[in-house]
Amino acid sequence: MTMNVVGLTSLLDCCFGIVPTPLIVLPDQTVCAEIMLAGNIIDIIPFANIPGYVMCISLGNPQVLSATISAGGVLTPQECTPMTFEPWISMSFDVMIMGPPALDQTSMLICDFLGLITVAEPGNFTVMVP
């Protein structure tokens, strides 16, 4: 079986984000697949691992809700503040990266502002999984 490597510079989408953003894998992760630092399910730190999606359109985001109410009900995007505090949901339990399971192309992350973060572009490398 093969799996796409998800790690440093893989692109992430949020259902309420305006543009994709890269995943940042911190240098304390020392596992590389080809030349990419591989990510795991605890790469969730707002702004350190998940930089934000420029603008957010979720009414679950208090800034968006407030701006929309102020604009008379017209949806008003505001700056994205990732609120990710639970681990990624991943099915790659047989591949571990520095302890926790690895991220794969089907991994999902929940934002507390109602967003669902998914892997848009996992990377250009695949690895064989026994």
- Residue 125 confidence (pLDDT): 64
- Residue 127 confidence (pLDDT): 59
Distance CA 65, CA 7 (A): 33
- Residue 28 confidence (pLDDT): 81
Give the residues of the chain that fall short of pLDDT 70: 1-2, 29-30, 124-130
Contacts of 34 (CB under 8 A, 6+ apart): 5, 124, 125
- Residue 94 confidence (pLDDT): 74
Q: If residue 56 lies in a helix (H) or strand (E), which one and from where to where?
A: strand 55-56
- Residue 38 confidence (pLDDT): 87
Task: Note whether 97 and 38 are within 8 A (CB).
Answer: yes
Distance CA 22, CA 49 (A): 9
